[in-house]
Structure 1
Amino acid sequence: MSLAPPFTKETAHQKVKKAQDLWNTREPDKIAKAYTPDSTWRNREWFLTGTDEIVSFLTWKWNKEHNYKLRKELFAFSDNKIAVQFWYEYQDSHEEMKWKRCYGLEDWTFAEDGRMRKRQMSGNDVAISEEERWFKEGVDVNEVEISEKHW
């Protein structure tokens, strides 16, 4: 089964989980291979073009965001586009290693070969306590019940 467009509900879901697993490796060079060489990104206030900028950005990101764990869920899809909702937790090295959770949405557009050619991300960080964490060590992020009371 191909994970390239056009997507079905099943292949779109698989593509989202494959991206989730890839990002949870926190390996920028490996992750960048999932994007076209001229891929464009908007990640919050940053605008990036090309895999070199993606690698640099992700390297910076994970130097700041320690103990990062991510969950992505399929929100909607069309032939070559997927919308995703996501949640991730991390310790912020720029703020005395305090725990944070990011809530957000992504809009992805894919090339014919299945690599992403455009990614737009909007996210909001909130401070959380150790007790409020969802994605603790040894927990499968896919099994965590996402609590609406924390939205």
Structure 2
Amino acid sequence: MSDISERITPPFTEASARQMVQNAEDIWNRRVAEVVPDDYTKDTKWRYKDAFLEGRAAILPFIRERWPIQEEYRLKKEMWAFAGDRISVRFISEWRHRDSDQWYRTFGNEHWEFAEDGLQSLLDISANDIEIAESDRTL
């Protein structure tokens, strides 16, 4: 999100939670790393698989290291549940590893928590990468 006046804030309704999920999917599929940190609090906490990040400043270096490895990336998110200032999401992504040309499908779950201003204060992701043939891609 680039304009704070457009920011969705908790407590979430079903419609606003679904919009948050769609916004996140759109941002990650655009793959513009510089805009991602803008949606997180300065003291945000991330767990992405086995990586633990603290603070907005840690997000951009993490993404800049990871994204170039995941070529032809495509992501689909689905809202799983929401309550108050929290949203849970299931996701599937497909991508080709830059060095090996091996295709992967990643299945995962995300748990999000938001501050009053709509910035995300917590991201907790559990995910598994499965090797697939290029012909098995669905996204």
TM category (shorter chain) comes to: over 0.9
Please state whether the residue corresponding to 2:30 is helix, strand or coil. Answer: coil
Q: Which residue of 2 aligns with 1:36?
A: 41
Shift of residue 125, structure 1, vs aligned partner: 0.4
4+ runs deviating over 6 angstroms: none
Q: Residue 2 of structure 1 contacts residue 11 of structure 1 at CA under 8 Å; is this kept in 2?
A: no
**Aligned counterpart in structure 1 of residue 25 of structure 2, from 20, 32, 50:** 20
Counterpart for residue 123 of structure 1: 127
The aligned amino acid for 2:83 is S
Is residue 81 of structure 1 aligned with residue 86 of structure 2? yes
Q: How many residues align?
A: 134
Residue identity opposite 1:82 in structure 2:
I
Match among 92, 96, 118 for residue 91 of structure 1? 96
* Correspondence 1:92-111 to 2 at 5 A: 92-94=97-99, 96-111=100-115
Q: Is the contact made by 1:81 and 1:110 (CA closer than 8 Å) also made in structure 2?
A: yes
Query: What secondary structure does 1:106 align onto?
Result: strand
Partner of 2:3: none
Structure richer in strand, relative to its length: 2
Q: Specify the alignment match of 1:132 in structure 2.
A: 136
How far apart, CA to CA, are the structure 1 residues paired with 2:7 and 2:120?
14
TM-score of the superposed pair, with normalisation by structure 2: 0.93
**TM-score, with normalisation over the residues of structure 1?**
0.86
- Per-residue deviation, 1:43: 0.3
SS state of the match for residue 117, structure 2? coil
Deviation string for 1:26-63 (max 9, x for gaps)? Answer: 11210110111111000000000112211011111112
Determine what percentage of the aligned residue pairs are the same residue.
37
Q: Does residue 14 of structure 2 align to residue 9 of structure 1?
A: yes
Output the aligned Cα RMSD: 1.2
Can you list the C-alpha shifts for 1:119-140, whole angstroms capped at 9, x where unaligned?
A: 00000000111111012xxxxx
- Determine if the alignment matches structure 1 residue 48 to structure 2 residue 53: yes
Residue 2 of structure 1: how far off its partner (Å): 6.0
SS in 2 for 1:117: strand
